[in-house]
Amino acid sequence: MAIAAMAVARDTLPRLTSPIESVSEDEFLDALTALEDVLEDHGKRSRQIKKRIAQIRRGRAQGASYTELVSNHDSPLIVQLLTESSIALGTGGADVRRAEARALYAEGLTMEQIAERFGVTRQRVSTLLRRAQEPK
């Protein structure tokens, strides 16, 4: 029964009729482009964090308390920047995983083969493929 359900589930996920999509329709390349933007923003936040770390160190060397350093400095705080980067990288990474799984599946790789390459279970790949079909 479970095997029959898996076969039905596999048949419900669409595959490309042609192994190569046009660049404008290539959702994996689009996800990679979006990830580049996320990484650029992450780099900017990283530079802000490093600058803020240096400011905190200088302030502490001059005897300032952490309360003063946090209260007297312009936002965003280091923790805010870290949260923004974490969320953006998580979302961008998830989009890339979904798009890559879909592209590999469309080119004929099985869920098992994709799972092996990604280091996850076949069930996780199935979830990625289902989520790739959901509207954003």
Q: Where are the domains of the chain?
A: 25-133
Q: Would the CA dihedral through 21, 22, 27, 29 be positive or negative? A: positive
Instruction: Please compute the mean of the pLDDT values over residues 108-116 and round it to a whole number.
Output: 97
Banded model confidence at residue 18, pLDDT cuts 50, 70, 90: very low
pLDDT on residue 13: 56
50-54, 71-75, 126-130: which has the minimum mean pLDDT?
71-75
What's the pTM? Answer: 0.72
Banded model confidence at residue 24, pLDDT cuts 50, 70, 90: very low
Question: What DSSP string describes 19-83?
Answer: S---GGG-HHHHHHHHHHHHHHHHHHHHHHHHHHHHHHHHHHHTT--HHHHHHSSPSPPHHHHHH
pLDDT on residue 97: 94
Q: Give the model confidence (pLDDT) of 52-70 as tens digits.
A: 999 899 999 999 999 888 8
Closest CA to 30 of 96, 121, 94, 109: 96
> Rounded mean pLDDT of the chain?
84
Instruction: Please compute the mean of the pLDDT values over residues 77-102 and round it to a whole number.
Output: 95
pLDDT at position 5 over 80: no
Instruction: Please compute the mean of the pLDDT values over residues 90-96 and round it to a whole number.
Output: 96
